[in-house]
Amino acid sequence: MLDEILIFQDMELWRKLSDDQVISVELSDGEMAYCSIIGNMGRQYGIVAYLGDDGLYAYQSVVEGNDEVMKEMAFLQKSLTVLYGTTEDMEMEDFGLLSRHTFPPFKGNQFPIFRRMDPGYLPWPLTQSDVEKLIVILSQVNDVIVRSNENKVQIPDSSAKQWVGRQQANEDGEWTDTLMTPEPTERKHAPRLAVSETDLQRIKKSAQPYNGSVELGVFYIGMAIQGETAGEPPSFASIFAAMEINDGMNVFFKPGNGGMDAFYLQHTFLNMVEKIGLPQKVFLKNDKVSAYLSPLLKKLSVEIVHVPRLPYIEEMREQMEKDL
């Protein structure tokens, strides 16, 4: 990996590519890495490999300037990154890497810093699996650039709305070029019921009706929570809250941390029902939350109302962020 990053550094790819001239790389597990070269604006340098559908969604939101998603981007990215920084930006693992290997200083006093980013978690040093993926990513990106300089492959201009890519052609390790036209994508969440039939029937029998409807908000705040086990990355604090639609009274509040998947959201909703009863309607704004909760709410005959704003939830969140 270090050899590949030195090749990457020496070629100064940011002089050749803008950050929206993406190079896609198909990894051995079938996951796609969408690679954006950072540096043509002269502020920060490196490469961000956005992973899978979540990564693609994050990248397209950055390019499109989606303000709502950009507000959440620090919490939602799924990527592997190599970004250059000074010793002030480094952790102990980075100093250990520098002590074991020789890196020529970049632009005076900068060195490559390697990180993984997962939704709900702070940036974290690479795992061995991440290193293996990054070796493939860097080698294929470098290969495309070298052959582009030799006029053997053409990297589409940004205005072409096409991306050059690399994928394995066979089991012998041979690679081939591809050309893809990315389509606007929303986060893909296949609706599924993540609670047991036993729990579902228990709630149906025991839950009292809640006389009203609620705004339901699920969001991260910029407070780090240390991992519970060695090697577990620190996570962002998350909030699951419900507020009465008519007067904004907080009727349910549960802090959490880490990723928010279907299991977590559906079981937390059941906890809410056990506490306050079964609401008639749930007002939702977040497409991820809606997709994850919809299988359960359909089973419970709770109507989902999609709205552009959740004023009471937003007011509570703003106050919490001010108090940090």
Q: Which CATH class is domain 197-323?
A: alpha beta
Q: How many CA atoms lie within 13 A of 281 on its CB side?
A: 12
Residue 187 has pLDDT above 60, yes or no: no
Provide CATH 3.30.420.10 ranges for the chain.
Answer: 197-323
> What tokens were used for 319?
């106050």
- Decide: residue 69, CB within 10 A, 0-12 exposed, 13-18 middle, 19+ buried: middle
Q: Which pLDDT tens digit goes with each residue over 245-303?
A: 999 999 999 998 877 888 999 999 999 999 999 999 999 998 778 989 999 999 999 99
> What tokens were used for 178?
């591809």
Res 65: pLDDT: 67
Residue 42 has pLDDT above 90, yes or no: no
Strand order in the sheet with 175-180: 111-117, 79-85, 46-51, 32-38, 23-26, 163-168, 175-180
E-strand ranges in the chain read 23-26, 32-38, 46-51, 79-85, 111-117, 163-168, 175-180, 214-225, 235-244, 250-257, 281-284, 303-306
Res 132: pLDDT: 94
> What tokens were used for 287?
């497409």
Torsion of CA 133, 136, 139, 145, to 10 degrees: -90
* Rounded Cα gap, residues 311 and 98, in angstroms: 49
The end-to-end CA distance of the chain, in Å, is 39
Highest mean pLDDT among 39-48, 230-239, 254-263, 271-280: 271-280
